Structure 1
Amino acid sequence: MQMETPAERLRSLLPQVFAPQPKEGELFVKLQVVPQVIVSIPLVSIAEVSLVMASEITPIPNMPDSVLGLFNTKGYVFWLIDLAYFLGFSSTLSRVKSYEMVMVRAIPKQHSDDATPTTNSSEQLIGLAVHHIQGSFRMPASDIQTSDAGMKSRITSELLAYVDAYILNTQKPLPILNIEKMKTRLIELGQAT
């Protein structure tokens, strides 16, 4: 019985290492809105994730309490929203020096083979300040439920207004936020002030 040398073993394994493995399911980012509430957003809706210093935000008078102000980055000016307050929870973000922020596209780009987020001048961007960004994960379509059967009693009515589906393959159902619905509501709030 002849043993393979390390070089021979490496040569036989290299094609497996560099061969693309098909991955099924959609990518999501998990956000902790307040310590007891976690939601998700499709990764395709996200343009950027960053830490924003409170001193970089320009407060705007006469705006709803959920609007922290305007923020400028990479040539874009956009609203920064306290997601907890917007969804009807008590905010945990008052008097902080920095915010964990997810910049979302109001109209998500189409799926493509290129996973690199890009923006163009026609996109509307919204910054969502959250308690904590927990990371990304992949979920197969079979674990996503669009019906809200039994979910209404588990979440607030404000949050329910922006949820279209739930991820079921977690300890408890994980709501998926609809960014377009949120943008529509923000426009309505802006026009009312």
Structure 2
Amino acid sequence: MVGNLGLSTSSISEQSSTQLQELERPEGELHLRFYLTFGQELAFSAMAIREVLSVPPDRITPIPNTSPLLLGTLNLRGRVLWVADLGQFLGETFAVNTDRAEIPIIAVEDQETIVGLAVEQIVGMEWLDVEAIQQSTATTDSITPYLRGEWLLGDRTHQYLRLLDQKAILRSNRWAAV
């Protein structure tokens, strides 16, 4: 016995169509949000990212006598990927925690250059309005050259989501000292 459930196929198809339209028209551009060691939240444009990995620390081969910025190298499908501590690159004093099961790594690229950037935590992908980006209020000179701008997350809390420029990071003179 099948009774009338009170659903019409037209209302279901109208709801599905509305939901599809919402999915097809996201606002802004897609970005990856993540945290550094001391809870500073940053983002990269999804267009800048080659891949997001989570690897056990023992898969990263340390290279002796190199900069503390570099954690080592990683074999990524037959290609050698240098892995650096993004927090230390941007001027944080403490290194990313490598004493855990897996380390989140964001592989960013510019032309033929790819570098893996180790971070504390990946938040996830989010559509963000690029029209709302403001000039950065960063007070440390170590991060300013690598910022494209920032979003104000809350007026009362004065929390900012800072958008990094992967090209500025990959082309930085800081790598020459490495």
Distance 1:144 1:4, change over 3 A: same
8 Å CA contact 2:41, 2:160 repeated in 1: no
8 Å CA contact 1:39, 1:175 repeated in 2: yes
2:130 matched to 1:141?
yes
Secondary structure in 2 aligned to 1:91? Answer: coil
One-letter amino acid of the counterpart of residue 174, structure 1: L
Q: Following the alignment from structure 2 to structure 1, what is the Cα–Cα distance between the partners of residues 171 and 118? A: 18
One-letter amino acid of the counterpart of residue 7, structure 2: P
2:148 to 142, 150, 164: 164
8 Å CA contact 1:28, 1:138 repeated in 2: yes
Secondary structure in 1 aligned to 2:142? Answer: helix
Structure 1 moving runs of 4+ over 6 Å: none
Q: TM-score, normalised by structure 2?
A: 0.82
Secondary structure in 2 aligned to 1:173? Answer: strand
Question: 5+ unaligned residues in a row in structure 1: which ranges?
Answer: 108-122
Q: Following the alignment from structure 2 to structure 1, what is the Cα–Cα distance between the partners of residues 127 and 13? A: 31
Deviation of the 1:4 alpha carbon: 9.0
Q: TM-score, normalised by structure 1?
A: 0.76
One-letter amino acid of the counterpart of residue 15, structure 2: L
One-letter amino acid of the counterpart of residue 71, structure 1: L
Q: Following the alignment from structure 1 to structure 2, what is the Cα–Cα distance between the partners of residues 13 and 78? A: 46
Count of residue pairs the alignment pairs up: 169
Q: Following the alignment from structure 1 to structure 2, what is the Cα–Cα distance between the partners of residues 141 and 94? A: 33
8 Å CA contact 2:63, 2:72 repeated in 1: yes
Question: 5+ unaligned residues in a row in structure 2: which ranges?
Answer: none
Percent pairwise identity: 24
8 Å CA contact 1:163, 1:175 repeated in 2: yes
8 Å CA contact 1:64, 1:189 repeated in 2: no
8 Å CA contact 1:143, 1:169 repeated in 2: no
8 Å CA contact 1:82, 1:93 repeated in 2: no
2:46 matched to 1:43?
yes
